Amino acid sequence: MGQSSYAAESYAVLDMAGDVREWMDRLDLPAAHVVGLSMGGAIAQELALLDPRRVRSLVLAATLARSDEWFRDQLRAFALIRRQVPDTSAFFDAILPWWVSHRFFDESERVSWLRAFLRQNPYPQHLDGFLRQLDALSRHDADDRLREIACPVLVMVGEDDCVAPIRYSQQLQDRISQAQLIVLRGVGHAPAIEDAGQFNSHLRTFLTALKTGGQGF
């Protein structure tokens, strides 16, 4: 997002994975340890399937293998709210109870900080871009292909995630033979914001194990 240009027609998650691959090619980057959260996790799955040589390992956080009817209905609700609340920061403020754990609201200063942080975005996303994003995610389905992923995979999900509940992460673990699943305590759909220490600790442990196991960086 940010200052990226806006597409004039619909696209798929696979197209966004192709963008990542092209970006890596243009910068001449080596194979990477790819961390994807929420829609980023869907893109990371497609990148690993599209070009396995680009991905040394995957961290799939707060995401899912396939958008089912319940998830699509949730996306339709987000689209409806977004159309009614044109200001981007006001929109995210409105859906904050979906995004973070109820425990986050126990500390009012953290909620105030996050709301202020969201208002500081100098390049808010346009409505049409957000709706295309939701449309792409609503059609995401890598479920039948995930067994092809051969790199090490860590799946992380917040125990209070209301957007992509634990059952979706369990499905990812079931489909990817070498995947390990970690349920993050006390967080919702934004674990890297709600509890960065816990999120980063598990990420560090995973990557360190890869390095000491001889797979290297």
pTM for this model (two decimals)? 0.95
Q: Over the chain (217 residues), what is each successive 10-residue block's mean pLDDT?
A: 86 97 97 98 98 97 98 98 91 94 94 91 91 97 97 98 98 95 98 97 96 64
Residue with tokens 């349920």: 183
Cβ contact 15:136 at 8 Å? yes
| Residue 216: per-residue pLDDT | 43
Cβ contact 188:158 at 8 Å? yes
Residue 158 backbone phi and psi in degrees, to 5: -75, 140
Provide CB contacts within 8 A for 153, sequence distance 6+.
57, 58, 59, 60, 172, 176, 178, 179, 180
Q: Give the C-alpha separation, 98 to 162, whole Å.
A: 6
